[in-house]
Amino acid sequence: MASHRLTLLAAVAAMLLPSTHAVAAGPAGPATVRIDTGPVEGRTLSSGVTAYLGIPYAAPPVRELRWREPQPVQPWTDVFHADRFGPQCMQPQRNPLGNQYSGAEITSEDCLTLNVWTRSGLKRAPVIVYIHGGGFFIGASSMALYGGETVAREGGVFVNLNYRLGVLGFMAHPELSAETPDKTSGNYGFLDQIAALQWVKRNIARFGGDPDNVTIAGQSAGSMSVLALQASPLAKGLFHRAVGMSGATMGGPIGLGTLAAAEAEGVKLQAYLKAKSLADLRNVPADRLQLPRVPGGPTVGASVDGRVLTDQPEAVFARSAQNDVPLLLGFAKDESFGGIGAVAGLDDYRAKVATRFGDRAGEFLALYPAASDAEAKAQATAADRDATMALAMSAWATAQTRHGKAPVYSYEFARAHSYAPGVTFSDLDPATAGAYHTSEVPFWLGTLDSFNRYRHTRDWTPADRAFSRAMTRALVSFARTGKPISADMTWPTFDPAKPRLVLLGATMAEASWPDERKFAFFRSVARQPATGGALRD
């Protein structure tokens, strides 16, 4: 078979990957589709869904292609066996038993692959392209949390993808900028996402999908990616609806740095690695290209590079220059980053508020009053959520409503997971987690059982499963029509003057957004660049 498939290391890595959520579901036989680079053979599962895994959408970004735009895949003639995921992009490894999302998998710099789930009989079906989160430095399309079998059963064609992360995905450098006609560098992860969308436009009809009805969706850094694509002129015409879950680089504390600042960080990283030239940097082993965890050390992240992103998203929307598509946006009730953090009780709450806000502490306490330890803990969480995710998602919804024609629908996810008795995690307390950051994803995608992949951590109830089915159907209906449809309620459109959302808790119900006065208070908080690791799932 032609050498396009994977480099030797990546091929070995792919063979060593553990059984995936698609293959483990009970394969019933092969199914072959011819795409623009050659024939691919997937596996038809017992559910009737066919999964095509690990399809390369760009050439391996290695050696001279490191820190360059994704390049076309070399065509092949033999059948490409798309029966296993490709390696995840370079990232720190995680403990499969301690981490609730996924196990450690083989990583490779040769990682630009995507996966497609579809079923027989689909023609011009709505397409959902899901972009994983992970703070732009961890995550992979192979994570069971992001599987597409349920969406395909509901009548959508589901695609997810790997994109370059961390240093390999977002480092800018003056010498890299000098190499390009646009004199810019960085944001390679976004360029990968755009290349994947171009692949979808060329090929998805062969899988029963409609290239003129593509919805991009993502959570956390994946949601920030969705916003970046909506603001990017390079993504124009590649998607027609967008879903953002808990992540936006506008309005809130996380923003985009300048190209000059990003280049300066690249120079710092070069010095840290003791590389004398760009050629030396391209020869550094990929597993050494990790950011040092030291105060004042170099950082990398998304930036306004002048090409992928020509301006801050707020400015793009203010000119009505965004890709004007219907939006479905939301946040989780109990997610929080930074702010005053967890508190032990009322006295600790007041002390931390005084430290954090100084002479504005009284103003804060008027917005988030507490008279008991329980109230203090709840208000601390609510304030941290409002200061970050809720504020940012509100800003995105408001910008689209004021400067675009397409409607916005919104939600707050407030349903706690059903945990197995006695289960513990290194990074989450089931007793207090509530609706934490990322907790809505398995309900939207119908991947509840992904949490029991390595060990039994969830005891999902029939009500949980029914609620997930309702959410998945609302997502697919939004992808199909531009409007989320639920059996027992009508979703309100977002109105900045009186914002309403759908509360996804014990049931689906209409509710209000957090008080605008709270958002106004937090808008004065200094913004931080969206550097790798700034926001973790």
Known active-site residue 440: no
Instruction: Choose, from 220, 303, 394, 477, the residue flagged as catalytic.
Output: 220
* Residue type for position 286: A
Tokens representing residue 215 in the block? 């919805």
d(CA 361, CA 365): 6
Which of 147, 1, 45 shows the shortest CA–CA distance to 450? 147
d(CA 497, CA 508): 23
* Residue type for position 100: Q
Instruction: Choose, from 335, 410, 440, 450, the residue flagged as catalytic.
Output: 335
Residues with Cβ within 8 Å of residue 162, at least 6 apart in sequence: 86, 88, 89, 111, 112, 113, 114, 140, 141, 142, 192
Known active-site residue 220: yes
8 A C-beta contact, residue 524 and residue 243: no
Instruction: Choose, from 185, 437, 468, 477, the residue flagged as catalytic.
Output: 437
Three-state SS at 116: strand
Tokens representing residue 54 in the block? 């690990």
Taking the chain, what is the end-to-end CA distance rounded to the nearest angstrom?
A: 38
d(CA 317, CA 480): 25
d(CA 109, CA 94): 17
Helix axes 346-357, 373-385, angle to 10 degrees: 40
d(CA 6, CA 74): 11
Burial class (CB in 10 A: 0-12, 13-18, 19+), 361: middle
Residue by residue, what is the 3-state secondary structure of 66-106? Answer: CCCCCCCCCCCCCCEECECCCCECCCCCCCCCCCCCCCCCC
Known active-site residue 418: no
Q: What is the DSSP string of 189-230?
A: HHHHHHHHHHHHHHHGGGGTEEEEEEEEEEETHHHHHHHHHH
Three-state SS at 479: helix
Tokens representing residue 71 in the block? 């390049």
d(CA 205, CA 184): 34
Exposure b/e, 116-134, CB count within 10 A at least 16 = b: bbbbeebeebbbbbbbbbb
Which residues are catalytic, by number? Answer: 220, 335, 437
